[in-house]
Amino acid sequence: MAILPRLPDLLTTANLCCGVLSVILATQGELTSACWLVFAGAFFDVLDGFAARALGGGTPLGAQLDSMADMITFGMAPGMIAAIQPYNALLAYVGSTERTAFDLLSEPLWMAIACAMVIAIASAWRLAKFNNDDRETTGFFGLATPANALLWASFGLISLGVGIMHGPMASGPELLITELTASAPAKLVLAVALGILMLSDLSLPGLKFKHYRWKGNEVIYILLGLGAVLIMLYGILAVPLIMLVYLASPIWGKVFSMPTS
């Protein structure tokens, strides 16, 4: 075993640091920074993959380290971000009144905690499933953990009104997401639905190029092109929109796999 860490391992460690800082800042109410750190972690996660492939492939140590880092950045951190807003509000309310533990059952506090638990547990199971699934070489079976985490981080930023660009008809999705993030029951239902998608066998495309020709990469090029346009128009609000397009890709992607006469 090498004494000095490889570059991919250092980049994975940077991902881990982003996740730890995100969790710490979320508990302090610094949600904007906590959300952006999830995006920074995803950036390092992409870089460590590029670095590993450039150096001839990953190592067993790197694979284990990557899963551990992903669990913090894409499992614990988004769970904290999803739960901390109603938790902080209720903590201040409960601390200033005479209430018992039974009274909390009528409050959304337990739903906020359950939401965080569902996100973390589904992420852990998804990562374990990925590590033991030999099929996931060019694509994914189930929603990937980083994609789920970026969605929750974008929800946090949208609820704070950060990073939004008001392109055509942006007010509708912005209002819908703001109302969703303010409702602990709605977030819990969404967390369960996304958790089921993460653990499902839904076939979704990966974004790794084996070559750069159009043929065989149609879905990737369309996703990247459409994603770039949506980001320019809507900013962080584009993330949920891109997610919807991505989840629908098994349907519209069949157009490119149909035989031509």
What angle in degrees, to the nearest 10, is found between the helix axes of 31-54 and 77-95? 170
* Cα–Cα distance, 261 to 254 (Å, whole number): 16
Measured from the Cβ of residue 39, the count of other Cβ atoms closer than 10 Å reads 20
**Residue 161 token pair:** 């009104």
pTM for the structure as a whole: 0.86
What values do phi and psi take at 168, rounded to 5?
Answer: -55, 130
Are 240 and 151 contacting, i.e. CB atoms less than 8 angstroms apart? yes
Residue at token pair 């006469």: 261
What values do phi and psi take at 166, rounded to 5?
Answer: -90, 75
Lowest mean pLDDT among 38-42, 74-78, 106-110: 106-110
pLDDT of 46-100, one tens digit each?
A: 998 888 878 877 777 888 899 999 999 999 999 999 987 655 555 555 555 555 5
pLDDT of 184-204, one tens digit each?
A: 888 999 999 999 999 998 888
Domain edges within the chain: 7-257
Reported as a pLDDT band with limits 50, 70 and 90, residue 255 is low
Q: Where are the beta strands (DSSP E) in 113-210?
A: 139-141, 203-205
Better-scored residue on pLDDT, 16 or 6: 16
DSSP 138-156: SEEES--HHHHHHHHHHHH
Are 104 and 110 contacting, i.e. CB atoms less than 8 angstroms apart? yes
CATH of 7-257, one of 1.20.120, 1.10.3470, 2.30.29, 1.20.58: 1.20.120
**Residue 86 token pair:** 């109603």
